[in-house]
């Protein structure tokens, strides 16, 4: 995995932001590790009481994220899509990714995409944020969503009064 050019982002202080995390029920051992890392990043950011919503699988993530985006400043999607024996892997990856992007654009709410698209469990664990991992996608998805939420807030037009 290429890390060259990756931004050196720290967890931004985000007290007062409302954040939700949507997670899948597939590959729960890996996803639970990613959720723990995401929640750790939210604690570090001083986000109070993040919402956690579980869905059956990756295809349900965009709808849940759209629902959560209506009442939160940022949303994070976590899951694992692993290539199987049938040819649906590419379709599911594309559908979930485009669905999450659409939610972000339609709702004007950042959606941190922490959905792993991998060949096997080894690749998933390598990106899960476990102590042996080379990447921490749950943590990174939270940081990306928080940075974007702050950027949107800072660029928001002034509120009109009177």
The model's pTM is 0.90
Provide the residue ranges of all domains of the chain, joining segments of one domain with +. 19-153
pLDDT bin (cut points 50, 70, 90) of residue 160 is: low
Q: Is 24 annotated as a binding residue?
A: no
Q: Across residues 54-68, what is the average pLDDT?
A: 98
Which residues, listed in sequence order, are joined to residue 111 by a DSSP beta bridge?
75
Q: Is 60 annotated as a binding residue?
A: yes
Q: d(Cα 148, Cα 9) in Å, to the nearest integer? A: 12
pLDDT bin (cut points 50, 70, 90) of residue 1 is: very low
Q: Is 82 annotated as a binding residue?
A: yes
Determine the pLDDT at residue 85. 79
- Its CATH class, for the domain covering 19-153, is alpha beta
Q: Is 81 annotated as a binding residue?
A: yes
Q: Provide φ and ψ at 135, rounded to 5°.
A: -145, 165
Per-residue model confidence as pLDDT tens digits over 95-140: 999 999 999 999 999 999 999 999 999 999 999 988 898 989 999 9
Answer yes or no: are the C-beta atoms of 17 and 149 closer than 8 Å.
Answer: yes
Q: Is 125 annotated as a binding residue?
A: no
Determine the pLDDT at residue 112. 98
Spacing of C-alpha 115 from chain mean position? 7
Q: Is 55 annotated as a binding residue?
A: no
């Amino acid at each position: 995995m290429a890390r060259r050019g990756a931004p050196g982002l720290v967890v931004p202080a985000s007290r007062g932001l409302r954040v939700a995390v949507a997670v899948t029920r597939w590959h729960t051992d890996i996803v639970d590790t990613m959720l723990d890392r995401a929640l750790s990043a939210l604690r570090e950011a001083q986000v109070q009481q993040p919402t956690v919503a579980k869905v059956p699988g990756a295809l349900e993530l965009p709808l849940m994220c759209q629902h959560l985006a209506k009442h939160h400043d940022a949303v994070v999607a976590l899951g694992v899509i692993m290539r199987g024996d049938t040819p649906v892997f590419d379709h599911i990856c594309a559908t979930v990714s485009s669905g999450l992007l659409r939610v972000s654009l339609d709702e004007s709410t950042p959606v941190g995409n922490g959905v792993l698209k991998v060949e096997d469990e080894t690749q998933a664990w390598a990106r899960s944020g476990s102590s042996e991992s080379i990447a921490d996608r749950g943590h990174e998805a939270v940081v990306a969503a928080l940075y974007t939420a702050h950027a949107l807030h800072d660029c928001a037009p002034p509120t009109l009064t009177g």
